[in-house]
Amino acid sequence: MAACAIRRGFLTTIIKYNKKHTHRILSIIEGSRGLVSKRPRFPCLACDLPNIQQRRFMSSRNRPEGKVLETVGVFEALKQHGKYETGQLFLHSVFGYRGIVLFPWHARLYDRDVTPPVSDSKPDPPGSHGSKEVKGETHTYYQVLIDTRDCPHISQRSQTEAVTFLANHDDSRALYAIPGLDYVSHEDILPYNSTEQVPIQHELFERFLIFNPAKNPPFSARDTLKAWQEKNHPWLELSDVHRESTENIRVTVIPFYMGMREAQNSHVYWWRYCIRLENMGNEVVQLRERHWRIFSLSGTLETVRGRGVVGREPVLSKEQPAFQYSSHVSLQAPSGHMWGTFRIERTDGSHFDVRIPPFSLESNKDDKAPPAGYTF
Protein backbone atom coordinates (compact mmCIF):
# COMPACT_ATOMS: atom_id res chain seq x y z
CA MET A 1 0.00 0.00 0.00
CA ALA A 2 1.38 3.38 -0.93
CA ALA A 3 2.45 5.68 1.88
CA CYS A 4 0.87 9.14 1.95
CA ALA A 5 2.27 12.64 2.25
CA ILE A 6 -0.15 14.96 4.03
CA ARG A 7 -0.17 18.73 4.38
CA ARG A 8 -1.62 19.88 7.69
CA GLY A 9 -2.71 23.19 9.22
CA PHE A 10 -1.50 26.00 6.97
CA LEU A 11 -0.04 23.45 4.56
CA THR A 12 3.36 23.41 6.27
CA THR A 13 4.01 19.85 7.44
CA ILE A 14 4.87 17.15 4.92
CA ILE A 15 5.50 13.48 5.66
CA LYS A 16 9.17 12.54 5.08
CA TYR A 17 9.96 11.55 1.53
CA ASN A 18 10.94 7.88 1.07
CA LYS A 19 12.69 7.11 -2.23
CA LYS A 20 11.94 3.37 -1.93
CA HIS A 21 8.18 3.78 -2.23
CA THR A 22 5.60 5.46 -4.42
CA HIS A 23 3.66 8.13 -2.56
CA ARG A 24 0.25 9.53 -3.10
CA ILE A 25 -0.01 13.19 -2.20
CA LEU A 26 -2.97 14.26 -0.12
CA SER A 27 -3.65 17.95 0.31
CA ILE A 28 -5.85 19.54 2.91
CA ILE A 29 -8.36 21.95 1.45
CA GLU A 30 -9.36 24.26 4.28
CA GLY A 31 -12.67 26.06 4.30
CA SER A 32 -12.25 29.74 5.08
CA ARG A 33 -14.39 32.72 5.89
CA GLY A 34 -13.30 36.34 5.89
CA LEU A 35 -12.71 39.40 3.75
CA VAL A 36 -12.53 38.81 0.03
CA SER A 37 -11.17 41.65 -2.08
CA LYS A 38 -12.52 42.04 -5.59
CA ARG A 39 -9.92 42.14 -8.36
CA PRO A 40 -10.62 44.56 -11.19
CA ARG A 41 -9.76 43.26 -14.65
CA PHE A 42 -7.78 45.28 -17.13
CA PRO A 43 -5.52 44.54 -20.11
CA CYS A 44 -2.02 43.33 -19.32
CA LEU A 45 0.37 44.51 -21.99
CA ALA A 46 3.34 43.22 -20.02
CA CYS A 47 2.46 39.70 -21.08
CA ASP A 48 0.38 40.74 -24.11
CA LEU A 49 -2.58 38.82 -22.71
CA PRO A 50 -6.10 40.24 -22.27
CA ASN A 51 -8.09 40.07 -19.05
CA ILE A 52 -5.33 38.95 -16.70
CA GLN A 53 -6.34 39.75 -13.15
CA GLN A 54 -4.02 42.15 -11.37
CA ARG A 55 -4.58 44.50 -8.48
CA ARG A 56 -3.00 47.08 -6.28
CA PHE A 57 -0.90 45.76 -3.43
CA MET A 58 -3.38 44.82 -0.70
CA SER A 59 -4.04 41.94 1.66
CA SER A 60 -6.94 40.02 3.14
CA ARG A 61 -7.18 37.63 6.06
CA ASN A 62 -8.82 34.23 6.12
CA ARG A 63 -9.48 31.85 8.95
CA PRO A 64 -9.38 28.11 8.23
CA GLU A 65 -12.33 26.34 9.78
CA GLY A 66 -12.66 22.97 7.99
CA LYS A 67 -10.35 20.40 6.44
CA VAL A 68 -10.98 18.00 3.57
CA LEU A 69 -8.42 15.53 2.21
CA GLU A 70 -7.96 15.44 -1.54
CA THR A 71 -5.54 13.38 -3.63
CA VAL A 72 -3.49 15.62 -5.92
CA GLY A 73 -0.84 13.34 -7.43
CA VAL A 74 2.10 10.96 -7.00
CA PHE A 75 5.53 11.92 -5.72
CA GLU A 76 8.50 11.72 -8.07
CA ALA A 77 12.19 11.24 -7.20
CA LEU A 78 13.99 14.35 -6.01
CA LYS A 79 16.62 15.71 -8.40
CA GLN A 80 19.95 15.77 -6.62
CA HIS A 81 21.66 17.11 -9.75
CA GLY A 82 20.47 19.20 -12.65
CA LYS A 83 17.30 21.26 -12.61
CA TYR A 84 13.55 20.79 -12.87
CA GLU A 85 12.02 21.59 -16.24
CA THR A 86 9.23 23.97 -17.22
CA GLY A 87 5.92 22.33 -16.35
CA GLN A 88 7.13 20.42 -13.29
CA LEU A 89 4.42 20.11 -10.62
CA PHE A 90 5.59 20.39 -7.02
CA LEU A 91 4.71 20.93 -3.39
CA HIS A 92 6.64 23.63 -1.54
CA SER A 93 8.57 21.82 1.21
CA VAL A 94 8.18 24.70 3.70
CA PHE A 95 4.90 26.46 2.86
CA GLY A 96 3.18 23.39 1.42
CA TYR A 97 1.39 24.99 -1.50
CA ARG A 98 0.89 23.33 -4.89
CA GLY A 99 2.76 24.98 -7.75
CA ILE A 100 4.22 24.55 -11.20
CA VAL A 101 7.65 25.58 -12.54
CA LEU A 102 7.66 28.26 -15.25
CA PHE A 103 11.43 28.59 -15.78
CA PRO A 104 14.68 28.46 -13.77
CA TRP A 105 17.03 31.22 -12.62
CA HIS A 106 20.72 30.77 -11.82
CA ALA A 107 21.61 32.86 -8.76
CA ARG A 108 24.76 33.50 -6.76
CA LEU A 109 24.17 32.30 -3.19
CA TYR A 110 26.25 34.10 -0.54
CA ASP A 111 25.88 31.84 2.51
CA ARG A 112 27.50 33.36 5.61
CA ASP A 113 26.86 30.15 7.55
CA VAL A 114 29.66 28.60 5.49
CA THR A 115 33.10 29.72 6.65
CA PRO A 116 34.99 31.06 3.60
CA PRO A 117 38.70 30.76 2.88
CA VAL A 118 40.53 33.98 3.71
CA SER A 119 41.25 34.59 0.01
CA ASP A 120 37.52 34.40 -0.85
CA SER A 121 36.27 36.89 1.72
CA LYS A 122 35.32 40.41 0.72
CA PRO A 123 35.20 43.58 2.83
CA ASP A 124 31.82 44.64 4.17
CA PRO A 125 30.06 47.79 2.98
CA PRO A 126 30.64 50.94 5.07
CA GLY A 127 29.14 50.68 8.55
CA SER A 128 27.95 47.06 8.37
CA HIS A 129 28.02 44.71 11.35
CA GLY A 130 31.36 43.04 10.73
CA SER A 131 30.79 39.56 9.26
CA LYS A 132 32.40 38.73 5.92
CA GLU A 133 30.66 38.14 2.61
CA VAL A 134 31.61 34.80 1.16
CA LYS A 135 32.21 33.97 -2.45
CA GLY A 136 28.92 33.32 -4.22
CA GLU A 137 28.11 29.76 -5.31
CA THR A 138 25.72 29.12 -8.21
CA HIS A 139 22.31 27.97 -7.04
CA THR A 140 19.08 27.26 -8.92
CA TYR A 141 15.81 29.05 -8.18
CA TYR A 142 12.55 28.80 -10.08
CA GLN A 143 9.86 31.21 -11.19
CA VAL A 144 6.61 29.43 -10.32
CA LEU A 145 2.85 29.78 -10.27
CA ILE A 146 1.04 29.10 -6.97
CA ASP A 147 -2.27 27.24 -7.02
CA THR A 148 -4.89 29.89 -6.16
CA ARG A 149 -6.77 27.37 -4.01
CA ASP A 150 -3.81 27.40 -1.61
CA CYS A 151 -3.16 31.16 -1.55
CA PRO A 152 -5.65 32.01 1.24
CA HIS A 153 -4.11 29.36 3.49
CA ILE A 154 -0.51 30.57 3.21
CA SER A 155 -1.24 34.31 3.28
CA GLN A 156 -0.32 34.53 6.98
CA ARG A 157 3.07 32.90 6.32
CA SER A 158 4.05 34.08 2.84
CA GLN A 159 2.87 36.94 0.65
CA THR A 160 1.27 35.67 -2.55
CA GLU A 161 1.55 39.08 -4.24
CA ALA A 162 5.22 39.68 -3.55
CA VAL A 163 6.36 40.06 -7.19
CA THR A 164 5.64 43.74 -7.76
CA PHE A 165 6.29 46.17 -10.60
CA LEU A 166 6.51 49.95 -10.86
CA ALA A 167 3.55 51.54 -12.59
CA ASN A 168 4.43 53.12 -15.94
CA HIS A 169 3.14 56.59 -15.16
CA ASP A 170 4.20 59.61 -13.13
CA ASP A 171 3.19 58.19 -9.75
CA SER A 172 6.57 56.70 -8.77
CA ARG A 173 5.11 55.06 -5.66
CA ALA A 174 2.40 53.07 -7.45
CA LEU A 175 3.08 49.34 -7.37
CA TYR A 176 1.26 46.52 -9.12
CA ALA A 177 1.51 42.78 -8.64
CA ILE A 178 0.74 39.55 -10.44
CA PRO A 179 -0.98 37.39 -7.79
CA GLY A 180 0.37 33.90 -7.20
CA LEU A 181 3.87 34.36 -8.64
CA ASP A 182 6.81 33.21 -6.51
CA TYR A 183 10.51 32.28 -6.47
CA VAL A 184 11.40 28.85 -5.08
CA SER A 185 14.81 27.39 -4.24
CA HIS A 186 15.74 24.01 -5.74
CA GLU A 187 15.78 22.29 -2.32
CA ASP A 188 12.22 23.50 -1.58
CA ILE A 189 10.80 21.59 -4.57
CA LEU A 190 8.99 18.30 -3.83
CA PRO A 191 8.13 17.10 -7.36
CA TYR A 192 4.98 15.15 -8.18
CA ASN A 193 2.97 14.20 -11.22
CA SER A 194 -0.74 14.26 -11.95
CA THR A 195 -3.04 12.85 -14.60
CA GLU A 196 -5.10 16.06 -14.69
CA GLN A 197 -4.72 18.28 -17.74
CA VAL A 198 -5.22 21.36 -15.54
CA PRO A 199 -3.81 20.35 -12.14
CA ILE A 200 -3.02 23.92 -11.03
CA GLN A 201 -5.68 26.60 -10.74
CA HIS A 202 -4.22 29.94 -11.78
CA GLU A 203 -5.48 32.39 -14.39
CA LEU A 204 -2.12 32.24 -16.22
CA PHE A 205 -1.81 28.44 -16.25
CA GLU A 206 -3.50 27.73 -19.59
CA ARG A 207 -2.12 30.92 -21.14
CA PHE A 208 1.46 29.97 -20.29
CA LEU A 209 1.39 26.16 -20.48
CA ILE A 210 -0.07 23.50 -22.77
CA PHE A 211 -0.71 19.82 -21.99
CA ASN A 212 1.55 17.44 -23.91
CA PRO A 213 1.12 13.78 -22.81
CA ALA A 214 4.17 12.68 -24.83
CA LYS A 215 6.45 14.88 -22.70
CA ASN A 216 7.73 14.48 -19.14
CA PRO A 217 6.65 16.61 -17.38
CA PRO A 218 3.52 16.69 -19.59
CA PHE A 219 3.30 20.49 -19.74
CA SER A 220 5.19 22.65 -22.25
CA ALA A 221 5.74 26.40 -22.46
CA ARG A 222 3.50 28.27 -24.88
CA ASP A 223 4.95 31.05 -27.00
CA THR A 224 3.18 33.51 -24.68
CA LEU A 225 5.30 32.33 -21.72
CA LYS A 226 8.52 32.60 -23.72
CA ALA A 227 7.61 36.10 -24.91
CA TRP A 228 6.60 37.19 -21.40
CA GLN A 229 9.85 35.90 -19.92
CA GLU A 230 11.95 37.64 -22.56
CA LYS A 231 10.08 40.93 -22.33
CA ASN A 232 10.10 41.15 -18.52
CA HIS A 233 13.50 39.58 -17.91
CA PRO A 234 15.07 42.72 -16.33
CA TRP A 235 12.30 42.97 -13.70
CA LEU A 236 12.01 39.28 -12.89
CA GLU A 237 15.67 38.27 -12.86
CA LEU A 238 16.99 36.81 -9.64
CA SER A 239 20.77 37.24 -9.44
CA ASP A 240 21.99 37.34 -5.81
CA VAL A 241 20.79 35.53 -2.68
CA HIS A 242 22.18 36.29 0.80
CA ARG A 243 21.82 34.00 3.82
CA GLU A 244 22.93 34.14 7.47
CA SER A 245 21.86 32.45 10.73
CA THR A 246 21.86 33.73 14.30
CA GLU A 247 20.85 31.42 17.19
CA ASN A 248 18.99 29.01 14.88
CA ILE A 249 17.10 31.79 13.06
CA ARG A 250 18.09 31.88 9.40
CA VAL A 251 17.50 35.01 7.33
CA THR A 252 17.53 34.81 3.52
CA VAL A 253 17.41 38.00 1.42
CA ILE A 254 16.84 38.31 -2.33
CA PRO A 255 17.01 41.83 -3.84
CA PHE A 256 15.44 42.76 -7.20
CA TYR A 257 15.94 45.92 -9.23
CA MET A 258 12.63 47.53 -10.25
CA GLY A 259 13.65 50.50 -12.36
CA MET A 260 14.33 54.23 -12.27
CA ARG A 261 11.96 57.17 -12.05
CA GLU A 262 12.56 60.89 -12.57
CA ALA A 263 11.23 63.05 -9.75
CA GLN A 264 11.89 66.75 -9.07
CA ASN A 265 14.79 66.93 -11.50
CA SER A 266 16.51 63.89 -9.97
CA HIS A 267 16.63 60.15 -10.59
CA VAL A 268 15.04 57.78 -8.07
CA TYR A 269 16.05 54.10 -8.24
CA TRP A 270 13.73 51.43 -6.86
CA TRP A 271 14.33 47.90 -5.54
CA ARG A 272 12.18 45.28 -3.90
CA TYR A 273 13.66 42.73 -1.53
CA CYS A 274 12.21 39.41 -0.44
CA ILE A 275 13.06 38.19 3.07
CA ARG A 276 12.48 34.77 4.57
CA LEU A 277 12.94 34.09 8.27
CA GLU A 278 13.15 30.44 9.27
CA ASN A 279 13.35 28.89 12.72
CA MET A 280 15.82 26.01 12.46
CA GLY A 281 15.46 25.06 16.15
CA ASN A 282 12.70 23.86 18.48
CA GLU A 283 12.17 27.02 20.56
CA VAL A 284 9.09 29.17 19.81
CA VAL A 285 10.08 32.78 19.08
CA GLN A 286 8.39 35.94 17.79
CA LEU A 287 9.71 38.78 15.64
CA ARG A 288 9.15 42.08 17.45
CA GLU A 289 11.23 44.82 15.80
CA ARG A 290 13.33 45.61 12.74
CA HIS A 291 16.40 47.84 12.49
CA TRP A 292 17.69 48.74 9.02
CA ARG A 293 20.75 50.65 7.84
CA ILE A 294 20.61 51.86 4.23
CA PHE A 295 23.76 53.22 2.60
CA SER A 296 23.54 55.05 -0.73
CA LEU A 297 26.35 55.58 -3.22
CA SER A 298 25.55 59.28 -2.91
CA GLY A 299 27.08 59.08 0.58
CA THR A 300 23.96 59.08 2.74
CA LEU A 301 23.33 56.58 5.56
CA GLU A 302 19.74 56.13 6.72
CA THR A 303 18.51 54.30 9.83
CA VAL A 304 15.01 52.78 9.96
CA ARG A 305 13.46 51.27 13.10
CA GLY A 306 9.96 49.94 13.65
CA ARG A 307 7.67 47.31 15.10
CA GLY A 308 7.42 44.03 13.22
CA VAL A 309 7.54 43.72 9.43
CA VAL A 310 4.78 44.61 6.93
CA GLY A 311 2.45 45.24 9.86
CA ARG A 312 2.98 41.81 11.41
CA GLU A 313 4.91 40.25 14.28
CA PRO A 314 5.08 36.62 13.13
CA VAL A 315 5.57 33.68 15.50
CA LEU A 316 8.11 31.08 14.33
CA SER A 317 7.55 27.60 15.75
CA LYS A 318 8.42 24.02 14.88
CA GLU A 319 4.96 23.60 13.31
CA GLN A 320 5.13 26.86 11.34
CA PRO A 321 8.85 27.62 11.13
CA ALA A 322 9.00 30.20 8.33
CA PHE A 323 7.68 33.63 7.38
CA GLN A 324 8.34 35.31 4.03
CA TYR A 325 7.58 38.86 2.95
CA SER A 326 8.62 41.55 0.46
CA SER A 327 9.23 45.25 0.85
CA HIS A 328 10.70 48.13 -1.17
CA VAL A 329 13.42 50.76 -0.98
CA SER A 330 14.38 53.72 -3.15
CA LEU A 331 17.67 55.62 -3.48
CA GLN A 332 18.75 58.74 -5.33
CA ALA A 333 21.79 56.82 -6.56
CA PRO A 334 22.17 53.81 -8.88
CA SER A 335 23.56 51.58 -6.13
CA GLY A 336 23.86 51.11 -2.38
CA HIS A 337 23.81 48.57 0.45
CA MET A 338 21.38 47.44 3.13
CA TRP A 339 21.88 45.46 6.34
CA GLY A 340 20.41 45.32 9.83
CA THR A 341 18.87 43.19 12.57
CA PHE A 342 15.56 41.71 13.67
CA ARG A 343 14.73 41.80 17.39
CA ILE A 344 13.42 38.35 18.34
CA GLU A 345 11.55 37.55 21.58
CA ARG A 346 11.60 34.19 23.38
CA THR A 347 8.63 32.79 25.31
CA ASP A 348 10.27 33.82 28.62
CA GLY A 349 10.32 37.46 27.48
CA SER A 350 14.05 37.68 26.77
CA HIS A 351 15.29 39.08 23.46
CA PHE A 352 18.14 38.60 21.00
CA ASP A 353 19.09 40.24 17.71
CA VAL A 354 19.21 38.27 14.46
CA ARG A 355 21.57 39.62 11.80
CA ILE A 356 20.26 40.52 8.35
CA PRO A 357 23.14 39.82 5.95
CA PRO A 358 24.39 42.88 4.03
CA PHE A 359 23.27 42.91 0.42
CA SER A 360 23.93 45.16 -2.55
CA LEU A 361 21.37 47.29 -4.35
CA GLU A 362 22.55 47.43 -7.95
CA SER A 363 20.73 48.95 -10.92
CA ASN A 364 20.78 47.30 -14.32
CA LYS A 365 23.45 48.67 -16.62
CA ASP A 366 21.01 48.91 -19.53
CA ASP A 367 18.32 50.75 -17.62
CA LYS A 368 15.05 50.23 -19.46
CA ALA A 369 11.56 51.46 -18.78
CA PRO A 370 9.52 49.21 -16.44
CA PRO A 371 7.12 46.78 -18.11
CA ALA A 372 4.19 48.30 -19.93
CA GLY A 373 0.59 47.51 -19.16
CA TYR A 374 0.34 48.42 -15.49
CA THR A 375 -1.90 51.46 -15.94
CA PHE A 376 -5.66 51.46 -16.20
Find, among 341, 329, 337, the residue nearest to 360 by Cα. Answer: 337
Mean pLDDT of the chain: 79
pLDDT value at position 72? 86
Q: Alpha-carbon distance 26 to 7, whole Å?
A: 7
Distance CA 352, CA 350 (A): 7
* Residues 193, 199, 201, 206, CA torsion sign: positive
In this prediction the pTM is: 0.79
The predicted pLDDT at position 300 comes to 93
Q: Which domains does the chain have, with CATH numbers?
A: 74-113+135-362 (2.60.40.1470)
In this predicted model, what pLDDT tens digit does every residue of 196-224 receive, in sequence order? 999 999 999 999 999 998 899 999 999 99
Q: What pLDDT, on the 0 to 100 scale, is given for residue 66? A: 53
Give CB contacts under 8 A, 24+ apart, made by 224-227.
Answer: 224/47, 224/48, 224/49, 225/86, 225/102, 225/103, 227/47, 227/48
The answer to whether residue 373 scores a pLDDT higher than 80 is no
pLDDT for position 99: 98
How many other C-beta atoms lie within 10 A of the C-beta of residue 95?
A: 26
Whether the pLDDT of residue 44 is over 70: the answer is: no
For residues 186 and 11, give the distance between their C-alpha atoms in angstroms, rounded to a whole number: 19
